[in-house]
Amino acid sequence: MEKPYVIGMDMGGTNTVFGVVDSRGNVVSKSAIKTGTHTDVNLYVQDLFDEMSKLIHSAGGSDKIKGIGVGAPNGNYYTGNIEFAPNLPWKGVIPFAKLMTEKFGIPTALTNDANAAAVGEMTYGGARGMKNFIMITLGTGVGSGIIIDGRVVYGHDGFAGELGHTCAVRENGRLCGCGKHGCLETYCSATGVARSAREILGSTTKDSSLRNIPVDSITSKDVFDAAMEGDDVAKEIFQFTGKILGQSLADFVAFSAPEAIAIFGGLSKSGDLIMNPIREHMEANLLPLWRGKVKLFFSELKEADAAILGASALAWEL
């Protein structure tokens, strides 16, 4: 009999969330542990085992679990390794899928968090039935998952599709954490929006409620709140962000000719403030043969469970 459940696990630098998921995309149960407090990955896996076993037991035992899917920073689908992830406490190459499989006795698949989100969108969300689309995740950074002919693009080494580190601004581009200048991530992530706020406030004399916040403390949420109250400078920041992302999306369309592009992550909560300029500048920069043909939508994954669902989708393929 087909096993009715999988486990989805999303590993962040601070917390790891995981849950038991059924074939309809319902999160039956979920829990979490701290990531950053574990300097020894083996102790982290033991802590996971202790907490996750409770969920497995409540689902009827490991015989009911088809597999475990893990979304992790710098996760390599081909090898099952986490490789040189800067925001995790363990450095170097960690054979994480192997450690999990051996500990739980359940097959484990691993990829990076943006690829997991793309598989989740295709399995449970707004991209169901699509075989060619791009998922863009707008969080602390900018991630991406590229689906072509129904499969994630991993490249020869497992790390293809880092669209957040394509060059969006070539002249005097911002320094990125990766060491390059002008990366899309430095403009269109939550931290990028905060950087834009500081720059735009410094270049204009317009009145803005954002001036009431210490400039180094401004967050993307502050910009959103101000824009919703009609603040013209805050609206300008969203226009600037949407323009850069829209131009980059037009380039991405030329690469893979997707049916759609899904937008996921914290900045997607900004709604039309970010979507309207993205759409305007994407369409303006597309080749004529693609204008009006590429759908642009916010992810339909349930926000509270999106990370778990995205990772769990990997496990159905095991």
List, for residues 75-128, the tens digit of each pLDDT value: 999 999 999 887 788 989 999 999 999 999 999 999 998 899 899 899 889 999
Mean of pLDDT over the chain: 94
The arithmetic mean of pLDDT across residues 286-304, rounded, is 92
- To which residue do tokens 């996760």 refer? 75
The arithmetic mean of pLDDT across residues 11-38, rounded, is 92
Q: Which amino acid is at 266?
A: G
**For residue 226, is pLDDT > 90?**
yes
> What is the CB-side half-sphere exposure of residue 164 using CA atoms within 13 A?
26
Report the distance separating Cα 5 and Cα 26, nearest Å: 10
Report the distance separating Cα 162 and Cα 101, nearest Å: 27
The domains of the chain, with CATH numbers, are 5-120+304-315 (3.30.420.40), 129-299 (3.30.420.40)
Question: The sheet that has 27-34: what strands, in order across it?
Answer: 27-34, 15-22, 5-11, 65-71, 108-111
Q: What pLDDT was estimated at residue 1?
A: 56
The arithmetic mean of pLDDT across residues 237-244, rounded, is 98
Give the percent of the chain with pLDDT over 70. Answer: 99
Q: What pLDDT was estimated at residue 262?
A: 97
Report the distance separating Cα 174 and Cα 184, nearest Å: 9
Q: What pLDDT was estimated at residue 13?
A: 81
List, for residues 163-219, the tens digit of each pLDDT value: 999 999 999 999 998 899 999 999 999 999 999 999 999 999 999 999 999 999 999
Q: Is the dihedral of CA 264, 267, 271, 272 positive or negative?
A: negative
Q: Is the dihedral of CA 309, 310, 315, 318 positive or negative?
A: positive
For residue 304, CA distances in Å to 19, 29, 124, 135, 152 come to 12, 12, 14, 18, 24
Helix segments in 134-231, DSSP class H: 185-188, 190-203, 220-228
